[in-house]
Amino acid sequence: MTSRPTFGTRELYDALAETLNGDPVWRKKAGKMTFGMTHVYTGELPLVVRMNFTEGVMSDVTVFDDVADVPSSEFVLSGDSKNWERMLMTGELSVNIALVSKQISVKGKMGPLMKNIPQFNYIIAKLIELEPRVLDDERA
């Protein structure tokens, strides 16, 4: 990948799909994972993006205008875009702290969520490694 993807856009999640799908470590970790996950950003940079995982492959990325339009997902993570930024841009907010402190809320069955925390942490780590950029005019 030649350029850094833009934070708060589909571009970031398309780059994530490319990265994960080409990552043998991920494929081994997530080989049996089949589910839908939605990330909801609220506040300054609203975004609703749903990812489908099929046997560990990130098989689809879809952006929605309204969270009400999203098909059912096993996991929905929601939070202010500033909290997402602190997780994805600076790494100053870990997934575990974000969830425990409810800075990022989660809807879904807690058993499967906790079982897959290592994979979710890996997804966040890969998003951070993509070094997403924020465009100044996005905050205007």
For residue 62, what are the β-bridge partners? 50
pLDDT at 83: 94
The reported pTM is 0.88
Tens digit of pLDDT at every position of the chain (140 positions):
458 999 999 999 999 999 999 999 999 999 888 999 999 999 999 999 999 999 999 999 999 999 999 999 999 999 999 999 998 887 788 878 888 899 999 898 888 878 888 888 899 889 989 999 887 644 43
Cα–Cα distance between 34 and 99 in angstroms, integer? 22
DSSP H/E element including 53 = strand 47-54
pLDDT at 139: 41
Query: Please, are residues 17 and 58 in contact by the beta-carbon 8 Å criterion?
Result: yes
CATH fold for the domain made of 10-131: Nonspecific Lipid-transfer Protein; Chain A (3.30.1050)
Task: Write down the domain spans for the chain.
Answer: 10-131
- Sequence-distant (6+) residues with CB within 8 A of 118 are 29
DSSP SS3 for 134: coil
DSSP 8-state assignment for residue 46: -
